[in-house]
Amino acid sequence: MRELLDKPANKPFEFYAAYYPPIYAGYKAFDIDGLVQGIRKVDGLSIFYHVFHPLFSSHVVPEDMGNDFATWIRDELGDRLLAQEVSDIEGKEPRTVENVREDLIKILSEAKVNRSANKPFYFITCKPVIYNTGKIAKNLAELVDMLASISVRSIAYHFIFKRVMGYEDKNDFSKWIEENYGLTDLSKRLSALDPQTYTDEEMLRQDLLKIFEQEVLAK
């Protein structure tokens, strides 16, 4: 196994990271109809910001709701069942922000909620700032070591952002492992993780490392 871990990759893995400065998208909603209209109008980055960004901002958002829409529905409209349904929307591969947008519109359009909120939902979009971390893994062993210590922003960029925005059809780790080592089982297990089931970014890191340990290090 050490031989596989140390085997040089055909193409080294370069770790990038990103942060997402928020920008007001120009829409706000006081009720479900307004929320649906806003979801139809905003760009994909706004859906990403409200649905996927909370995972790596878990220190400032409620842990029991998976996205901003769900939190607002619960807190401002007082509908816990609808909030939970919106919170449970899946985000695993190969789903993108457009799939999530469709689900949101379907669920909310069928909801029977006539209340208006005192505090509106403000649609936020973002302009990602992507940067090279300077970290490069030349083999599997280095990739695992760096996953254990790299910033969560880097993990989120490679595992979530590029894929859910449709820039890649799968997360960068699965793609790199498959293309350089042919480890399809490992690749599939990583791809099966749904970022929407996490409310703690460190738990996502630990689960990624656990899969590497089970599929590579323990054999």
Q: What is the rounded average pLDDT of the residues 47-64?
A: 76
Per residue, the 3-state secondary structure of 88-130, as one string, reads CCCCCCCCCHHHHHHHHHHHHHCCCCCCCCCCCEEEEEECCEE
Over the stretch 131-184, which tens digit does the pLDDT of each residue have?
Answer: 999 999 999 999 999 999 999 999 999 999 999 999 999 999 999 999 999 999
- pLDDT attached to residue 96: 97
Is the bond into 94 cis (omega within 30 degrees of 0)?
yes
When computed from its CA atoms, the radius of gyration of the chain, rounded to whole angstroms, is 19
State the pLDDT at residue 201. 84
Q: Name 100's Cβ contacts closer than 8 Å, sequence gap at least 6.
A: 47, 51, 89, 91, 164
CA atoms within 13 A on the CB side of 38: 23
CB 73 within 8 A of CB 64: no
